[in-house]
Every structure is written in structure tokens, then in C-alpha cells.
Structure 1
Amino acid sequence: MGKNGFLTPKAIANRIKSKGLGKLRWYCQMCQKQCRDENGFKCHLSSEGHKRQMEIFGQNPERIVDGYSEEFEKCFMEHLHRAHPHSRIAANVVYNEYINDKQHIHMNSTKWLTLTEFVKYLGRSGQCKVEETPKGWFIALIHRDEAEEVEGQKRAKRDRAEQAEEERHARMLQEQIERAQKVARTDEGDEADAGTTELRREELEAPLGFQLAAGRAAAAAAAAGEQQAARARPALAAFDEDGCGGRGGKGGGAPGKKSKVEELMEKDRAAQAAQAASDAARTAASQRLDHWLAPGIVVKVMAKKLTGYYKQKGVVLRVLDKYRGEIEMTESGDVLQVDQKELETVVPQPGGSVLVLNGPYRSSRGTLLGIDTKKFQAEVKLRGGAHDGRTAWLDYEDFSRWQGTFK
């Protein structure tokens, strides 16, 4: 029998001494060697075999630590499945059962420094139900249906594909926007900066007045009133010539006093005007919609939860399901999906281009002429379409700055 044989007295003595668990601090995971005392561990650290293993570890330490962590987690969960599949048990008890195997992966070679961190990781990853009690951490295995796991994997794959498609679409939109801006700069020259002048409001000698254009119902009512007044004039003249109640007649009426016929006509015209105004108001209200986002307009983000973009401006690239839009932020160039409730319209400076977003002139483009800060309204001259050349006063929320110019 050789000097270092398996059945020599020294080898048998070493195996007897190595029964049971050694101290964790004297175990080398790379060499898978357990030392019995500190002196033996120091001798092992200076050995050639250990130095070669440490050179391998130094080439890619993160991958080796991750490999040990994955193997430790796998073995721990397999033991939990076998020993306590339906029990709520202390994590320390399960760990002590797991380390009874001398060949187990030691925790000091993983990315978890303590058992508590590993238990919290199991809870975050959804593998175990974790509970902290005065007696320590308790864990219970979470059983999952294989069909649900397969369905979840398919769902995750579909979500990743949709996200990749959306990112590709966003890149295409960005390229189109850059090409359009390049063409606009080439064609327009310095006219693109015409809407960035300083906002100044000069004091007017007279108060500023405006008149809303009446609709078809109001025009028809006014025409009917004129016809009725024309028919009533001959009768009124004959009545006054007879001297039976007109001004300056023989009846002795007070000068300047209106006759009964005139009062009735005025009441009739007032009722018709009120009815026409009511019809026009109902018509305007029916033309208002609850969604106003449109591609190409400039908006301001008012969502406080978006801390990095709060009160910053961006351009609407496209509208999703009427109420959400893809917004390209002006400063950072990031693309966000924001609901219209968290957006606000932007009022340009006089001379800037706007797009009407609501009301009877919806989808019309125009140029901002002036602003009334007290009434929160602005005067807009409409361009193109059926309302070309018309001037209207619009509320701030009914229009927004438009990224473009008129040719």
C-alpha cells in the first residue's frame, strides 16, 4: 500500500476529524476545501492551486459570483420543495437543514451577505411568501400553475414585441420630424422665428371690443324681424296721420312717447334676438368635444409625478385613443406618453402660428393677433378653409401653438 493511500492510518484519521461541518470562515469555495483551523487556512491561501483559482476568479468575478448565487438559490428551493412544500416554517430552520450537506454552496460565496437579504429576495421575486415575526423570518412556498407560467411567459414575450414595435415607430417619427424640420428651415429661412418676438401690450385709449358672428338661426331671425318692421311701417304712418296716438298728433300724446305698436314690435324683436342667441349658444356647445389633442401642437406637461419634465414643453407626435399623446420633450428630446388631463395648451407670442382645438373653428389654423390677459382670451385670424380671413376671440384652452408656418 502506498504512502498516501486511502486506507492508511493518516487518511482514516483525517476523514474522522473532518466529519461534520467546519467553520465557514475557513472554507474556500473556489477550491472547495474546508480547513480545520486558521493555520491550515493560511497555508491553503499561499498554495499554488489556490493562486491559480484566484487568477481565474479575477478574470470575471461577477460571473462567478452570479453562478454561485444561482446554484445556491436552486439548491435551497429544491430542498424547500422536498422538505416543506406546504408548510410555513422559519427560514433559519430551512437553512440549517440545507447546510447539513457538506458539499453545499456556501452563502459567503454568493451575492447575499446574510440570510435575511436572501429571504427578502425570495419575497420580491415571488417564489415565497415572506413574513417577519418576533421569532424571526418565516417563509412559505408559493405554488404556481404550469399553464399560468407558460401563459405569463407568452404575455411577457408579446409585451416585449409591442414595446420594440413602439420604439421602432417612435424612431421613424423622429426621423420624419427631423427631415420635415430640415426642409422647413431650408424653405422658410428666418420666417420660422417670427413667432418668438417679445410679448408687449400697448395701452389702448378706448376699451377693446369684439363681436361674435351670428349663426344661421340668428341671421334668419334678423331677416324676419326686418320684414315684419317693413310691413308695419305703412300702418304706423296711417295711424299717426289720423292723430290717434302718434307723436305730435291731435290726440295730445306726450312728445317722445312710444306707441303700443312700437312697444310690441320691440318686444317681439328682443324675443327673437334672445332665441337666436340661445340657438347659437347651443350650436357652439354641440361643436365642443371632450378631447382636444392634435399632432403638431406644442403643449406643457403639468404632471407633478413626472418630476424631470414638470412644466416643460413638448411637441405632440401622435394621438393615442383620443386622450393620450406621444410627446417629444423640447429640452431633452425624450418621448413620453401623457394623458391630456396632465397637459396644458401653450399660447404663443403675437404673430405666432396656432391650431384651433375646440369649438366651431376646430382644426383651423391661424395667426395670433393679440391677447386679453384679463379675460384669458386671444384674438386669432384664421387661415385657409371655409373661415379664411375671419377674426375670432378664443379661450386659451381652445387653441395652442402650432409647429409650422404659413406660406
Structure 2
Amino acid sequence: MSSSAFLTPKQIAKRLKSMAKGKEHLYCQFCQRQFRDNTTGFDTHKKSHEHLENVREFLKDPQSYIQQWSAQFEKMWNDIVTFRYRNKEVRVTVVYDEFTSMEEHVRLHATKWKELMGFVRDWAKRNKDKVTITNKAGSYFIKWDESNEEAAARRFGGESKKRKRTDLERHMSDIRRQVKAAKREEEEQQEEKIESTPENPAPTKEKASFGKISIESKPVGSKETLDAAPAVPASIFQLDASQHSPESTTSTTTSLSTTLAPPKPHFLPGIIVRVMNKKLDTGSYHKKKGTVLKIVTGKGRPLLQLEMQPSGDVIQVPEKQVETVIPNLNREVLCLKGEHRGHAGILVELQKKEFNGVIRLKESGKEVCVPYDDFSKKS
């Protein structure tokens, strides 16, 4: 393998070994470390200062350590069975393999149980209402039977009861709010009935007098007010005849025709351009030069009739598929845009940073700066 490779075969093998499941008798429970071999790794570790210190601490009170590791072992076993294999029949060895594949776990030889089935039987006795053990052809299977409500209560403890209480309180508060709203609505209806009794007559028409003039107030929208409203002149609803005169129609048609007119051609006859269409005649004219003979204008975009060099073929190409040709210095060019459109001149200088060319016009002798796209080589 080349030296530029990411990993050598030896490094790959080492990584695969480190990812593999370690052997149980090469695991140090005191230091919680896994070793792959017995000669260099585990034996050397047993003589290290760190390991010896942990062993001394263990010998001071071994029963407390064993009880602690046993409780951790049972708790982790419970978590795997209840979360992964709840209401499922599973082989004991499958659960234990998954248990030992975890990075941080407690090995069986560090607990008070000497063998796996001893732990399983002891664990089943403590959970005899939910755990069943069956023997099928020499293999032991376990099953944890538990409903969803029991699992939620076990996982959340008293939290589920707390949630029920909060839901009940929320429901009662909604009921109180609805009762208050109903009482408020009933009070409003009673007030409306009191206002509509004969003791409180409805408001009558009032007259306001301003000197000799008296104005009687009437409800808005009544027939009398509508009849008394001033008449609107019919001339408002009549359109001005000048808007429909022939002159106005001709002006609108001319404006539409100008807006819908085809675009003006950018190029001029008598210049040399380069074809940039890759698909034209299977790409045989790509980046080939041609002389513009004629510009064909119609409803669409202008077409350039080109005489290709050096074959002499005559083709038609849209303007968008060609580009200008910039000649060498002191060659004749033709301006294509601006006030100098159609004027010939000599290319004096190229400003490459600004993509401009300095052209000396033949008629006036004036030097003008023109962008690359606005002039081309003259044929």
C-alpha cells in the first residue's frame, strides 16, 4: 500500500481488534479496563501501581464493593430487559451478550453470583409476577410481562399521578370559566329586558332649532332621508367621448406596437464574429469565425447570416450564440453601440483589467474607450 493511504493494514487490524468484544477473564473490574491479550497487557497491568492501589482499597471492605457491583449489575440487566425485550421471549445469552457489549458495565465475576443462571433465577424470584423462565431444548428463555400503564408508572414513578392531578385541575378550571361566562351572559340578557320595558320608552325624534330653521333628526338609512338626498347628475356616469376618439385609439395602438416590437440587432453587417453554439452541426462550428453578411429580423430575436471561414459555408445563428472578435493592435474595427455605432476605427490599446479597448475613429481622429462587447473586427 502506498504511503499516502489513510491507514495501513496493520493499523486497520488494530482498530478492528479494539472495536471487538473483549474476553471476560481479561477485564479488570477494579480499574474498569478491558485488555486484549494476557501476556503483555493484562499481566503488566496487574503489576501497575494504579491496580495495586485499587486492590488495597477493595480489601478494606470487600462486601460493600460486591454489594454495590451486584446492585449495578441487576439495574443494568433490568434496563435492557424492560426497555428492549418487554413482552418478548428472548434467550438469556442474547441479553447477556448485549449487556457485556456496553462500554461501561459490571462483569458477572465481580458480583455475588457465580454463574449467569444463578443470577437469572434469583432475579426471577424477586420479579415473579412479571418474569417467566422457560427451558427449550437446553436453552433458557425469559419474558418480562408488563402493560404500558405499569411501565409508565415504573419509569416515571409518581410523575404519572402528578400529571393526572394537573389534568383534573385544568379540567375543573375550564368548567369554572364556562360557568362564569354563562352567568355573565345571563346578566346581560336581564339588563336588556329591563331597558325594553314601558318604564323606559324608546328614544323619540328630536328637533333642533337654529333661529327660524328647525331640523328634525331622522334615523340614518330611512326612506325619508333617501328621498331627501340630493340628486346626482347623470354626467358623472357618462364617459368622456374624447377617450374613445380615433386619435386616442391610434396612440394606444402605436404605444402597444412599440412595446411589442422585436429587439433591435446588436451586431452590424461587415464584421467578424465567433460562433459559440456547441450543438450547431454537431459542434463543427464551435468557436469558428464568420463574417456577418446580413441580419434577418422578424418577430423573434435577430438572426445573423454568416459566411464561415475558411469553409465558406453560409449559416444563420441567433445573436445570443455569437461573440465579438478582438483583433490585434492597429487593426480595423467597427463600433457596435452608443453614439459611435457604425463608425470604423483603429484599435490602439487594450485595457485588460477593465475589459475595454481604445479605438481611434477614422472620421474625427478621436480616441474613445469602448467595452469588448461593443466593438468587433472588421472584415
TM-score normalised by the chain length of structure 2: 0.34
TM-score normalised by the chain length of structure 1: 0.32
Higher relative contact order structure (alpha carbons within 8 Å, sequence separation ≥ 6): 1
